[in-house]
Amino acid sequence: MRNILSAALLLAIIFFTSCKTPYFNSVNNMRQINSTVYLKDGKQISGQTNSSLVSSFNSNSYISIKPDNSGGLQKVYLTDIKGIEVRSNYYEPKLIDMGFGSRDQLLFVKRMTKPDSKIGLYELYEQRQNTSYRRGGGSYTYYTDNYSYYISFAGNKNGVAWSLDGKHLTPNFEDKMSEIVKDCPALAEKIKSKEKGYFYAQVSLISEKRIETMLNIIDEYNRCK
């Protein structure tokens, strides 16, 4: 009986301690990490922030933050947030396509373009769980880092972001993207004619090529008069 009580007490101590320990997997999955939250109404809040958005598909997703010099946690809904700065990176909440058969999800994505860009490029980091099966029986779990990329347009109030390899841009990237930037005819023609540096195919598995192509397009679109 004494051993059982001792084990239970040890587990309780471990649980309590773990809840008090800062943890960072991503901005969508963190605990007690210092950040600054910028609200759409112009206000900002700095303090220790918690998020568990990776497992939440609630339309009212929120983070909790303990403001500096304040005693209690404050709930902040993503729909009220313009952006959040964590570890010198700036993130914005976007409704993103999670892939075939999955619901769109409101998550923080890292901004990779300047704030006033007509088209914003964003990066989503996820740590994915995988299972491998051993020959002869049994299995083990391991984790891999996954990065995916999205674009969103200035003035888009609903926060929708499109995947670089999703249905809005592929297949037929040259047709879909040239239509998006048709108010810049010279750029649209480069994309339409599949000029090098302004086109990628759906079958391309090299994310760096897609990022480079999209950055070329965004840069020229921003300079277009």
Task: Please list the pLDDT of the chain residue by residue as tens digits (225 residues).
Answer: 444 444 444 444 444 444 569 999 999 999 999 999 999 999 999 999 999 998 666 768 999 999 998 878 999 999 999 999 999 999 999 999 766 656 789 999 999 999 999 999 999 999 877 778 777 777 878 788 999 999 999 887 778 999 999 999 999 999 999 999 999 999 999 999 999 999 998 776 678 999 999 999 999 999 998
pTM of the predicted structure, to 2 decimals: 0.85
Whether residue 68 is contained in a domain is answered as: no
Residue span of the structural domain in which 206 resides: 164-225
Whether residue 86 is contained in a domain is answered as: no
Closest CA to 30 of 127, 102, 131, 147: 127
Whether residue 21 is contained in a domain is answered as: no
140 phi, psi to nearest 5 deg? -145, 155
Number of residues assigned to the chain:
225
Structural domain count, the chain: 1
Q: Which residues of 161-180 are buried (b: 16+ CB within 10 A; e: fewer)?
A: bbbbbbeebbeebbeebbeb
